[in-house]
Amino acid sequence: MTSATQRHDSAATAAAKPVLDWFFALAALAVVGVYIRAIYFTPLEARQGAAQKIYYIHVPSAIASYCAVTITALASIVFLWLHDERADRLAEASAEVGLIFMSMVLVTGPLWAHNQWGAWWVWWDLRLTLSLFLWFLIVGYLVLRGAIEEPAMRGRYSAVLAVLAALLIPFIHLSVYFSAAHMHPDPIVLQPSKPKLPPEMLLTFLLGIGAFTWLCLALIRSRYRLGVLRDEVALLEAEHASR
């Protein structure tokens, strides 16, 4: 009884926090700022022209989505270990946000590839195939969550799926690698000897990564708070029904 009341109280205080707040608003503003800079104040790439500008949305989204799915995997391990419902909620929140960013990667990538590679899709490109299957895994994870009503079981099942998916990634990576022709550009930014990206472009790129990662964290935070509210509503409905 006490634990139920405590849980109720903590949920109620959390519910007082707004879902979208200054943290989210600043992240959104930062993304807008980066795009104004990318479009108007960053020079055109000599060979690719305007098509290269998609790079400032494509790569930061990819990094943000990898951050989100890493959080999902880590939170799932924590949930299996400690059975803390907060970890489950965090895993769910970051999986949903990860899906949004991964979808952006999969939309912007083919747009650029059609212009530069001459093909929308190249199966034997490592990162492309990996991103697609990661997208499928996240969708499967969210569908699984939607298909289970009971919260404890939903948490366990989805955590098991997330941990196994984390084990699967290296296998998909190696499988494509073994049969791959590498189509993605070689690293230009993380080249210790000689960075080739001009400073204006590098700055826009780094600002883009910063803004997107921030937006990703802000969205996860908002989605987490939404999850708290949802659980609160479920609790109140259950109390109401039992009366």
Q: Note the residues at the interface with another protein (CB under 8 A).
A: 80, 133, 136-137, 139-140, 143-144, 147-149, 153, 156-157, 159-161, 163-165, 167-168, 171-172, 174-176, 178-179
> How many whole angstroms separate alpha carbon 117 and alpha carbon 223?
37
* Nearest-5° Cα angle at 106, 104 to 110: 120
Question: 195 by DSSP, 3-state: which?
Answer: coil
CB of 131 to another protein, least distance (A): 12
Q: Nearest CA to 177 among 127, 109, 103? A: 127
CB of 140 to another protein, least distance (A): 5
Cα–Cα distances in angstroms (integers) from residue 166 to residues 130, 133, 239, in the given order: 12, 12, 38
CB of 17 to another protein, least distance (A): 31
CB of 119 to another protein, least distance (A): 20
Are the C-beta atoms of 9 and 196 separated by less than 8 Å?
no
CB of 165 to another protein, least distance (A): 8
- To which H or E segment does residue 31 belong? helix 22-40
Residue 45 forms beta bridges with which residues? 49
Question: 124 by DSSP, 3-state: which?
Answer: coil
CB of 98 to another protein, least distance (A): 15
Q: Nearest CA to 14 among 234, 238, 227? A: 227
* Nearest-5° Cα angle at 86, 153 to 235: 70
